[in-house]
Amino acid sequence: MAEPLVLYSVSERVATIAINRPEKRNALNPDLVQQLTDSFIKASEDNDVKVIILKANGNVFSAGADLAYLQQLQLNTYEENLADSENLKRLFTTIYYLPKVVIAQVEGHAIAGGCGLATVCDIIFSVPDASFGYTEVKLGFVPAIVACFLLRKTSETVAKKILLTGSLFSAQEALDYGLITFVTNKEEISHKVKDFALDLCNEASANSLMVTKQLIGQTTNPLLEKSLAMAVQINARVRDTEDFKKGIAAFINKEKTMW
């Protein structure tokens, strides 16, 4: 029997959700997106859970969409791509609006959708040698959904720099940009994340944590849902362009795209 794509466990009122696709660099596909969403909903409804940790097995947090998934996107109809974009939006909004604090433990590279998955969490710990980046423009794609959250975490100047260039940046740069919370040595990150989670469990009211998270989200992002609805449509439309098909074909064939 194949290993589950997502592992779920609870200890000391802390749920750990672990992406378990290390052989594919924890790349996202529809099944993984759905299982992650289901796991966060499960943790949200679990009365024995107060705080959630998101991590990944292997050396990469998430490399974004996997090759088979990218190939399928080229064949999808607009309606299919719209539904697929809605599923990714649902994962990100589930984390963002979840009534419990979500801590990301990033111990490897977080790229494209994987970068969005990390930075949409409430608190983000990263090891120093992890790289972050939204590389979509290099594939003829757009970081539509993640941009809606990114623009609430950092300045327009920084957003334009990292989204328009598609360049990778270091954990320290991610910290400077306001995208992550802590940079911690690999030998200490598990211990630090656990201690942080337990401190929240033991030192703060669950209701107060929930209401404070809602307060921050609702007061800083009053137009988020409208922005996300537009982003989902942009996502689906761009997948039908010649640039997208050209970029994905070159990526799959490991060729340099001549833009």
Which domain CATH number covers 79? 3.90.226.10
Q: Identify whether 220 is part of a domain.
A: no
- What is the number of structural domains in the chain? 1
Mean pLDDT, to the nearest integer, of 21-30? Answer: 96
Say which residue the tokens 């809606």 belong to.
Answer: 148
What pairs with residue 183 in β-bridges?
126
> Which is the catalytic residue, given 136, 173, 187, 188?
136
State which residues form the domain around 248. Answer: 6-187+225-252
Q: Can you give the pTM of this predicted structure?
A: 0.95
Strands 101-106 and 131-133: unpaired
> Using CB atoms within 10 A of its CB, is residue 23 exposed (0-12), middle (13-18) or buried (19+)?
exposed
> What number of CA atoms fall less than 13 Å from residue 33's CA on the CB side?
22
User: Residue ranges of the alpha helices (H) in 23-77?
Assistant: 30-45, 67-75
Q: Identify whether 214 is part of a domain.
A: no
Q: Identify whether 213 is part of a domain.
A: no
On whether the CB atoms of residues 98 and 44 are closer than 8 A, the answer is yes
- Residue 136 bears catalytic tag: yes
Dump pLDDT digits (tens) for 69-125.
888 888 889 999 999 999 999 999 999 999 999 999 999 999 999 999 999 999 999
Dump pLDDT digits (tens) for 132-144.
999 999 999 999 9
Dump pLDDT digits (tens) for 164-173.
999 999 999 9
On whether the CB atoms of residues 230 and 162 are closer than 8 A, the answer is no
Dist. CA 39–CA 82, nearest whole Å: 23
**Predicted pLDDT of residue 34:** 97
